[in-house]
Amino acid sequence: MAFWLMVIVLLAGAAALLVIPALRQSKENTAASRDALNKAFYQDRLGELEQDEQQGVVAERPEMIRELQQNLLNDIPGQQEDRVRPINRWALVPGVLVLAVVAVGLYLKTGGLAQVRAWHQVESQLPELRKRVADERAQPLTQEEIARLGLGLRTALQDDDRNINDWMLLGRVGMALNNATTATQAFAHAYRLDPNNMDVRLGYAEVLTRSNDPQDNQQATDMLRKMAAEDHTNLRVFSLLAFNAFEQGDFQQAINAWQVMLKLLPADDPRIDVIKRSIEQAKVQAGEETVKLVVNVTLSPEAAKALPQQGTLIVSVTDGVSPVPVAVKQLPLSRFPLSFSLDDSSAMMPERLLSAQQQVKVRVRLSLDGLVTPQPGDWFGESALQKFSGKEQVSVQIDKQVP
């Protein structure tokens, strides 16, 4: 209703700009007519002749007066000019109607009225969606309903940006929709509002463990270790800590966290078998993790200026003889300088493991579209061919562009 009232006011203002100038008329006619000007000139000239006669300058005043009168008669128009009639106010009605129709038509065509209606519909559905999320016995939300819930929450948070529960719920919506940006930003905001809230800390840590950014994973590790030191019985903390450690290749820390969980769980808990299998897998991985290639990546000044906001870092390792990579790894674009490691888990083929190589050459490329095939304009860098025994570090500077 407020929107349409505003539309009406704006249309009325535009119509006033069209109508008022056409209807405005001066209350007094300040423009002198031709006759009035002639009369004024005649009276002024008579006064001048009288003064000249008194001073003795002119001696033939009557003839001059007759000449003035003759000139005045000659300058009188044959007929009076027709007066300009004012515009009939009803003649302006079609113009006002055209203005209103064009303005409303342009808005309906380009103004996104359907989106606005859908947005208001989502706002009205928000209470019901909240209830279904809170009720475990209710029917689960579809992907479309989850997206609507996210839109409604963002709208509600515009009016109440200190609602921690809504920020957490928005974070979970982001996780359900695989929208890492929304999930991370929502939980980060909730964490800033209440850094001591255990639910907020766990939700934020879970989002960080799912990130592809190594720095986010490290932040999650620090948060989880701190929470584990504060509470030695929180199963969710140790579960996240084990998962994050395993994904980062810290298998011993993952084993330790799972072993703590085994002590906390009841003997008949069905999760025990899963945890034991995870421990065995981590032990195997820890035994195989004997070869590791550490890569340190930096940017040249030119590449740093052209660094995009989003992209993928594609790393490939060859043996210097065959162009087919021995190992490949993809990382999200992050802060530089950047350091990471490759091992046999990054191998392209089982028969060509990184641990079997005697020499390696590393190529790092910034890809805007995430494609393995280099695209014109992509920045990349290559290391020199160097010997490899399983513990070396390789430094690569990104300083070239694909032609």
Query: Helices 214-230 & 198-210, crossing angle to 10 degrees?
Result: 150
Mean pLDDT of 153-175: 90
When pLDDT is cut at 50, 70 and 90, the band that residue 170 belongs to is very high
CATH 1.25.40.10 in the chain, residue ranges: 117-288
pLDDT at 224: 94
- List the strands of the sheet with 338-342, edge to edge: 338-342, 293-299, 393-398
> Looking at residue 291, what is its pLDDT?
72
* 345 or 147, which is more confident: 147
Q: Is the pLDDT of residue 89 over 80?
A: no
**How far does Cα 254 stand from its chain's mean position?**
37
Q: What is the pLDDT of residues 110-150, one digit of tens each?
A: 766 667 777 777 778 888 888 888 887 888 888 888 888 88
pLDDT higher than threshold 90 for residue 347 = no
**From CA 116, how far away is CA 151, in angstroms rounded?**
12
Out of 3.40.50.300, 2.40.50.140, 1.25.40.10, 1.20.140.10, the CATH code matching 117-288 is 1.25.40.10
SS (H, E, C) 98-166: HHHHHHHHHHHHHCCHHHHHHHHHHHHHHHHHHHHHHCCCCCCCCHHHHHHHHHHHHHHHHHCCCCHHH
Delimit the CATH 2.60.40 region(s) of the chain: 293-401
- Please compute the mean of the pLDDT values over residues 242-258 and round it to a whole number: 91
CA proximity to 199, closest of 165, 230, 232, 153: 165
- CA dist 345 and 288 (Å) reads 10
Q: What are the structure tokens assigned to 333, written together?
A: 């674009």
pLDDT grade for 167, boundaries at 50, 70 and 90: very high
pLDDT in tens, 270-311: 899 889 888 877 877 776 555 788 999 999 999 888 888 788
> What pLDDT does residue 31 have?
41
Question: Which is it for the CA torsion 231, 236, 240, 242, positive or negative?
Answer: positive
**pLDDT(246) > 60:** yes
Q: What distance, in Å, lies between the first and last C-alpha atoms of the chain?
A: 58
The structure tokens listed for 266 are 């009841």
Predicted confidence (pLDDT) per residue in 90-107, tens digit: 667 777 788 788 887 777
- pLDDT for residue 199 is more than 90: yes
What is the percent of the chain where pLDDT is above 70? 81
Task: Check residues 80 and 21 and name the one with the higher pLDDT.
Answer: 21
Per the structure block, which two tokens stand in for 296?
Answer: 């340190």
Per-residue pLDDT at 212 exceeds 70: yes
The conformation of residue 293, written as its DSSP 8-state character, comes to E
CA–CA separation, 97 vs 99, rounded Å?
Answer: 5
SS3 328: strand
pLDDT band at 29 (very low <50, low <70, confident <90, very high): very low
pLDDT at 57 over 70: no
- Which helix or strand (DSSP H or E) is residue 361 part of? strand 359-367
Q: Is the pTM of this model over 0.75?
A: no
**85 has pLDDT over 60:** no
Above 70 in pLDDT, residue 359?
yes
CB 272 within 8 A of CB 265: yes
Helix (H) or strand (E) holding 342: strand 338-342
Q: Which has more confidence, 126 or 192? A: 192
pLDDT at 236: 94
Instruction: Find the mean pLDDT for residues 381-388.
Output: 91
Residue 193 has pLDDT above 80, yes or no: yes
* Mean pLDDT for all residues in the chain: 82
- Percent over 90 (pLDDT), the chain: 29
The CATH code for residues 293-401 is: 2.60.40
| Higher-scoring residue by pLDDT: 199, 289 | 199
d(CA 360, CA 291): 13
Q: Which residue has the tokens 């539309």?
A: 7
